[in-house]
Amino acid sequence: MQQQRINLILITAISIGVVATAYAANSLSVGNTATITAAAPNLFMLTGVASTTACSASTGTYTETGLTISWGSVVQGSTANQYVCLENTGGQHTLTVTNNLPAADGTLTATIGGNPATGQIIGHNAFALIKFTWVVDPGATPSTVSFGISVS
Amino acid sequence: MRVRVLLPISLLLLAISAYGAPTLSTSNHATILRGDVSWNRFAECRPTILTLEQVLGNQTNSQGGALESGGWQGMIPDKRSTSPPCGVNGLPTLVEIRHLHTSLGTPGTSWDECDAVIADNCDLTLNLGDDPTLSCPACYSHKIHVEIDMYWNASRTAPMMIPVGTWVDVQGFVYWDPDHVTDQGHSYSGWELHPFTAWRISGTTNTTVPLGVTICPGTVRPVSSGVSQCSTTPTFTRYY
């Protein structure tokens, strides 16, 4: 009888230990550390769109190479505009737009929604309509000109 | 084994193709044309200076008239517009042509389509050319039909009529009127400056011209085929 009581106590203790052990395993905590870095921008462009375009994935075929803008004929002293759609499939990014139009041929600006494009943020999977405005210098030499515009 | 090799390569190519560029570079091309200011404040475009031959081109039909295909493709779609587009087909629409003569073809200004579009108003039309010595049909590719449009006249923003027998520099919007390619009085061509916006005596440097309305105090009567004239001296009232 005494032995049976001892066995019962042992079995009970072992059972409590098993349960306690199982419970502890369910409560394990793991410390996690990571460094999140900004994703690089992935820019694509669609040239030759209309001023009223609501840029989206369905606007046309975006590309990152072979981009050409044909301004046609512009008149000394006039203002000419061209529009492009920009897509960013990468991380959020602050835009910078530069050009190498010769100063003698005028000034070229880039705007998004009426504000300078440079400094504006384009988010992940976002689209933007960029307006390029060329104020042709009244003294620009009548000729054929080529120049570049970079968007980064 | 093949799947093990090709699958990663395919995924790599897919990743490369979906990856854009951190910097986009565009190649830009343009032709800068010689320009001037508009002498008519209501023609709010920058005119480009062309020769008559640049506007008409060098392609002619069997009667010597300039063809549409060879001429200046920056033509406006609506000759009645008081605010035409400044550019069409990548070309400016408002042009300036210097040193044209007024006495070719018709005997002075013709009053056309009176009351046909708006009441008590006509188009005031004239032929201008750059070489009065040419005989026809060679002359046809050196003349252009110009029209002070009735809507500009009615809105008191039109120039005066051009006195016959003078050399002038002119500005106007290029228009192709297909209804006149068989008209001798239209040089067998559809080319026009319509609306015709301003003129000045050649050799002067005026950059503004009087603007207003021209009316015929008498009656407008046909005097020859396709030509109608005012029975009395027209009057010009200046508003600008």
This model of the complex carries an ipTM of: 0.78
Give the pLDDT score at B170: 98
Which domain range does residue A66 map to?
A: 43-151
For residue A12, being part of any structural domain is answered with no
Give the pLDDT score at A45: 98
- Residue B30, chain A, CB below 8 Å: the answer is yes
The residue of B19, B23, B26, B37 whose CB has the most chain A CBs within 10 angstroms, and thus the best one to mutate to test that interface, is: B26
- Residue B65, chain A, CB below 8 Å: the answer is no
Whether B74 and A73 lie within 8 Å, measured CB to CB: yes
> Which residues of A29-138 form beta strands (DSSP E)?
43-47, 67-75, 79-88, 93-94, 97-99, 106-112, 115-116, 121-122, 126-136
- Among candidate residues A75, A81, A80, A73, the one with its CA nearest the CA of residue A138: A75
The alpha carbon of B198 is separated from its chain's Cα centroid by a whole number of angstroms, namely 11
Give the pLDDT score at A11: 61
Nearest CA in chain B to A137: B32
Task: Kindly indicate the confidence band of residue B12, based on its pLDDT and cuts at 50, 70 and 90.
Answer: very low
Give the pLDDT score at B13: 40
Q: Which of B20, B28, B33 sits opposite A44 (nearest CB)?
A: B20
Helices (H), chain A: 2-26
Read off the pLDDT of residues B127-175 as tens digits, 9 standing for 90 and up. 999 998 999 999 999 999 999 999 999 999 999 999 888 999 999 999 9
Give the pLDDT score at A31: 84
Task: Kindly indicate the confidence band of residue B16, based on its pLDDT and cuts at 50, 70 and 90.
Answer: very low
Task: List the single range of A1-15, A24-38, B68-82 with lowest mean pLDDT.
Answer: A1-15
Residue B115 near residue B121 (C-beta atoms within 8 A): yes
Task: Kindly indicate the confidence band of residue A70, based on its pLDDT and cuts at 50, 70 and 90.
Answer: very high
Output the CA torsion B182→B185→B191→B194 (10° steps): -130
Nearest CA in chain B to A101: B28
CA dist B177 → A65, B14, B171, B191 (Å): 42, 54, 18, 6
- CATH code where residue A126 lies: 2.60.40
Residues from chain B that touch A68, judged by Cβ atoms under 8 A, are: 26-29
For residue A1, being part of any structural domain is answered with no
Task: List the single range of A4-18, A126-140, B137-151 with lowest mean pLDDT.
Answer: A4-18
Asked if residue B109 has pLDDT above 50, the reply is: yes
Task: Kindly indicate the confidence band of residue B14, based on its pLDDT and cuts at 50, 70 and 90.
Answer: very low
For residue A47, being part of any structural domain is answered with yes
> Which residues of A61-105 form beta strands (DSSP E)?
67-75, 79-88, 93-94, 97-99
Q: Where are the domains of chain B?
A: 32-238
Å between A50 CA and nearest CA of chain B: 13
The alpha carbon of B101 is separated from its chain's Cα centroid by a whole number of angstroms, namely 17
Asked if residue A20 has pLDDT above 80, the reply is: no
The structural domain count of chain A equals: 1
Asked if residue B178 has pLDDT above 60, the reply is: yes
The residue of B24, B51, B88 whose CB has the most chain A CBs within 10 angstroms, and thus the best one to mutate to test that interface, is: B24
Whether B23 and A152 lie within 8 Å, measured CB to CB: yes
Å between A20 CA and nearest CA of chain B: 46
Residues from chain A that touch B18, judged by Cβ atoms under 8 A, are: 42, 89
Å between B98 CA and nearest CA of chain A: 17
Read off the tokens for A123: 């988010």
Summarize the confidence of residues A73-102 as an average pLDDT. Answer: 96
Give the pLDDT score at A2: 60
For residue A6, being part of any structural domain is answered with no
